Amino acid sequence: MSPVKMNNPFTPTFGSIPPLLAGREQIIRDILDGLDNAPGDPNRTTIFIGARGTGKTVLLAKLTEEASAQGWVSANVTAKEGLLKEILMQIKDNATDFITPDSLSRITGVEIVGFSISRSAVEEPERTWRSKLTALIKELNEQGIGLLITVDEVDAQCAPLRDVVDTYQHLVRERRNVALMMAGLPNNISQLLRDEKISFLRRAFQQRLDAVPKDEVAFALRKTVETAGRAINSKALELAAESTQGFPFMIQLVGYNIWRQNPQHKTISLEDTKHGVRLAENDMRRMIFDSTIHDLSEQDIRFLVTLARIGGESDTTQIAAAWGKNVNYTSKYRKRLLEQGIIGERMFGKIDFDIPLLGEYILERFPEF
Ligand SMILES: Nc1ncnc2c1ncn2[C@@H]1O[C@H](COP(=O)(O)OP(=O)(O)O)[C@@H](O)[C@H]1O
Ligand SMILES: [Mg+2]
């Protein structure tokens, strides 16, 4: 049999949708049910929370794809300056078939630039962003089309994000056919939720993108390999799944590296897998950990070493005692690291790593601390 080289189906790049999203079936189903249901369904306002590499961006993209297959129009943005304008532009681009060009240019103001604005246009009081958005949504809703807004990389410091949430709250109250999905690092989300002015958001569904269960990882790896025309030995699959620790980015790194050992062989062997897993762990260090700890101070790292040695959720008193510092000093570093999304808050004031495998890496790299 002449060997045919198949393309590597894995996608170890931020933001690329993998052929199979491990462990997300239930979340996706809940949200699609919510879209299918009437306005007011709680799944229509959902916040995804997870560290770097847990699959937030990809999940928003997947939901957009699925929603659009159900006839929804979407506006997909990241939380930064120009957010409000970008939402209108996105609707303009994605809803050209449903919204009359006239009302689009009137509402988004896209065509009205330069010096040739007529007197009457100047005299017309400027419409607020909310009224522009509402007009577009009305036009869509009248045709039975809903609007999904996705906001990635939520940043509590981004002022226009409050306008989006505030307007959305009104739209929900008016029972418009809309949905809002947001995603961000744990600490950015908790900062946003602390804002009294948009306390409405606290009632949104929160989905933490925790580690994917091992059997779901194994299923996704095997299915991806088989769909791409190869097979994987069962011991190899077991090892591959185990070594990801359920971390989505690592699923792709492991899959990618075990595939490329002997791409001309029909079956991925245990040897290929052992070698591939080592490479994946190096990639994980290079692509996530090195850049994560590059920005940290020595004391930050000492804090993290202490947390890793304790080996799980811990509170400030525990860490201070193990570190040999006072609670005030320890709290200062706790706060710094929370802000950077490296650790995250758990119940009862405890914290833990928000990036799996990072604790082990830190212990290995700084054994002398
Ligand atoms: N559920 C999943 N199953 C398998 N791989 C995933 C899953 N979610 C994300 N990935 C992969 O993980 C990597 C990071 O995804 P991304 O959405 O960019 O993460 P985030 O936005 O949370 O930093 C990408 O390579 C993507 O293909
Ligand atoms: Mg992202």
Specify the residue for token string 């937030």. 56
Section 219-224 average pLDDT? 98
Q: Which of 8, 14, 225, 227 to mutate to test the pocket of ligand 1 (most atoms within 8 A of CB)?
A: 14
pTM: predicted TM-score of the whole model, two decimal places:
0.87
Give the integer Cα–Cα distance in Å for 64 and 148.
8
Partners of 183 in the beta sheet?
48
Rounded distance from Cα 344 to ligand 2 centre (Å):
17
Give the integer Cα–Cα distance in Å for 20 and 278.
23
The better pLDDT of the pair 115, 210 is held by 210
Section 200-209 average pLDDT? 92
Give the integer Cα–Cα distance in Å for 149 and 171.
12
Rounded distance from Cα 290 to ligand 1 centre (Å):
19
Q: Is pLDDT of 113 > 50?
A: no
pLDDT of residue 126: 62
Residue 16 Cα: closest atom of ligand 1? 27
Residue 15 Cα: closest atom of ligand 1? 18
Give the integer Cα–Cα distance in Å for 268 and 271.
8
Instruction: Give tens-digit pLDDT for 72-95.
Output: 999 999 999 999 999 999 998 988
Rounded distance from Cα 210 to ligand 1 centre (Å):
12
Give the integer Cα–Cα distance in Å for 138 and 125.
20
Q: Which ligand is nearest to the CA of 63?
A: 1
Rounded distance from Cα 321 to ligand 1 centre (Å):
37
Q: Within 13 Å of residue 230, how many CA atoms lie on the same side as its CB? A: 27
Instruction: Give tens-digit pLDDT for 276-295.
Output: 999 999 999 888 888 788 87
pLDDT of residue 138: 93
Task: Indicate the pairing of strand 205-208 with strand 178-184.
Answer: unpaired
Instruction: Give tens-digit pLDDT for 305-355.
Output: 999 999 989 999 999 999 999 999 999 999 999 877 788 888 899 999 877
pLDDT band with cut points at 50, 70 and 90 for residue 104: low
pLDDT band with cut points at 50, 70 and 90 for residue 122: very low
Q: Which ligand is nearest to the CA of 154?
A: 2
Q: Is pLDDT of 109 > 80?
A: no
User: Residue 327: which residues within 8 A CB-CB, separation 6 or more?
Assistant: 316, 317, 320
Q: Which of 78, 249, 354 to mutate to test the pocket of ligand 1 (most atoms within 8 A of CB)?
A: 249
Q: Is pLDDT of 227 > 70?
A: yes
Q: Mean pLDDT lowest for which of 53-67, 155-169, 185-199, 259-273?
A: 185-199
Q: Is pLDDT of 118 > 60?
A: no
Residues whose beta carbon lies within 6 Å of some atom of ligand 1: 11-16, 18, 21-24, 50, 52-58, 220, 248-249, 251-252
Rounded distance from Cα 55 to ligand 1 centre (Å):
3
Dmax (CA) of the chain: 77
The full DSSP string for 305-361 is: HHHHHHTS-B-HHHHHHHHTS-HHHHHHHHHHHHHTTSEEE-GGG-EEESSTTHHHH
Instruction: Give tens-digit pLDDT for 26-57.
Output: 999 999 999 999 998 999 999 999 888 999 99
Partners of 148 in the beta sheet?
74, 179
pLDDT of residue 114: 42
Domains parsed from the chain with CATH numbers: 25-208 (3.40.50.300), 228-292 (no CATH), 295-365 (1.10.10.10)
Give the integer Cα–Cα distance in Å for 272 and 240.
10
Q: Mean pLDDT lowest for which of 2-16, 60-74, 81-95?
A: 2-16
Report which protein residue has its CA nearest ligand 1's atom 15: 55
